[in-house]
Amino acid sequence: MTRTRPVQTDHGKVLFERFVDLWNGEVDFADTQEFIADDFTVHSAELARYLGFPDSRQITTRDGLLDWVTAVRTLLHDVRFTTRPGPLREGDLVAGGYTVTGTYAGGAPTATVAPGTAVRYSGMSIVRLENDKIAEYWVLSDALGLLSQLGAVPRP
């Protein structure tokens, strides 16, 4: 379920929405130089490594971010990030909650479910703007919920 976004006039919120569009596969990687800083830092939990992703805590460049986006989009076909609430802005920080839906494509080393399994999880993102580009990203997602849906950890 995707909601129609209101037209944004705040440049920081527009950048945040382009960042979401990147995760949704709607932005050509070559165009990311327009809104993602060359030096790009990610702050996140370590759980994603259980899905075979690169350690997101080691991402320090735009190319590292694009590798991570590719890994997520490879693991989950038809992945869709829907933002709500947000984007909300205070100074150089823009935040939003999100829900992710997709279909497991296979390939996670610890997953026990079959490819084709539908997944859904939520989280929060905060980005920091610097020189009209996104330079830093904090993400708090329900990675444990995703791991559970993929059978990579026991369900409670």
Q: CB of 83 within 8 A of CB of 101? A: no
Say what the pLDDT of residue 55 is: 73
**Helices and strands (H and E) in the chain: how many:** 3, 6
pLDDT of residue 150: 93
- In 3D space, the residue among 150, 16, 154 whose CA is nearest the CA of residue 76 turns out to be 150
Spans of the chain below 50 pLDDT: 1-3
DSSP class of 106: S
CA end-to-end span of the chain: 27
**Tokens 């999880």 sit at which residue?**
121
The pLDDT value recorded for residue 49 is 66
> What is the rounded CA–CA span in Å between residue 34 and residue 147?
33
Element (H, E) at 36: strand 36-43
Residue of 68, 49, 26, 36 lying closest to 136 (CA atoms): 36
Q: Pairing mode, if any, of strands 118-130 and 88-90? A: unpaired
pLDDT at 2: 47
pTM above 0.85, yes or no: yes
